[in-house]
Amino acid sequence: MRNFFVAVLLLSSCAPQIYVPNTRNTPLFREQGEFQGTVTLTTGIEGQLAFALSDHIGVMANGSFLTDDIPEQDYTRKHQYFEGGLGYFNATRKYRTELYAGYGIGEGTSFAQYYFFTPTFGQKDLVATGKFNRIFIQPTLGTNNRGFNMAFTARLSFVDFTEFSSNDNNPALNVVTIQPDEGPQFFIEPAVTGKVPLVGNLQGIFQLGLNVAIPNDAYFDHVPLQFAIGIQLNTGSLRTRVY
């Protein structure tokens, strides 16, 4: 099992795709005043924050970053993304549910073929940078235990790349910027998350997620499978709500 997790982590980290979905932030709050701060290693490094404004309303802010030198194509693959979300949560003796919605912006650089650069650079793979925004809706169902907890998230995302730019990785050429005619691409991004108590308010966290484009002929590449592992500061991890 450990070898499987390592293989998935390496696979997602080495993938060359330009759209890199972030890890699903699943606070699973119990009551007002709870705070969570999480750092994970996945396709890059991610940071997540979440706070319960009341017994049923929560907010979140997430960011992901990736810098990876690709010597085969002589370029540096980069990715950065930031988002914020607002949601509703509810807790019972056995289960916790939540529904968040939010908006984010990001950009990524990768080596791939894009049809709209063909008239300028020819039909070939090239280094390009794309800027995008994303709207997401994220329902989650999880357990409510003092110890180990599991959660299933079915995130729905609308990803809209607003522009792509490239000079074919040649400093002597002018950068060409294209605004694609395609509209937002719909993604189904389900994930399973596990949280394990470590010590005090610290928890270990892992997540395995899929990223499926609907329809599956998206004009840009994306990371299809991701595994994340990290550590979380959770001020609500030591208390169980009294009903």
Place of tokens 């235990």: 145
Residue of higher predicted confidence among 21 and 7: 21
Whether residue 242 lies inside any domain: the answer is no
Q: Residue 68 is encoded by which pair of tokens?
A: 């990876």
* Contact by Cβ (8 Å): 48, 37: yes
Whether residue 243 lies inside any domain: the answer is no
Q: What's the total number of domains in the chain?
A: 1
Q: Residue 157 is encoded by which pair of tokens?
A: 């995302």
- pTM of the predicted protein model: 0.88
Strands (E), the chain: 35-42, 44-52, 57-70, 75-91, 95-112, 126-143, 149-166, 176-178, 185-199, 202-210, 212-214, 225-234
Whether residue 150 lies inside any domain: the answer is yes
For residue 214, give the CATH number of its domain: 2.40.128.90
- Average of pLDDT values for 195-213? 96
Whether residue 177 lies inside any domain: the answer is yes
pLDDT digits (tens, 9 = 90+) for 18-54: 999 999 999 999 999 999 999 999 989 999 999 999 9
Whether residue 47 lies inside any domain: the answer is yes
- Average of pLDDT values for 159-182? 94
Cβ-in-10-Å burial (0-12, 13-18, 19+) of 228 comes to buried
Whether residue 82 lies inside any domain: the answer is yes
Whole domain around residue 140: which residue ranges? 2-234
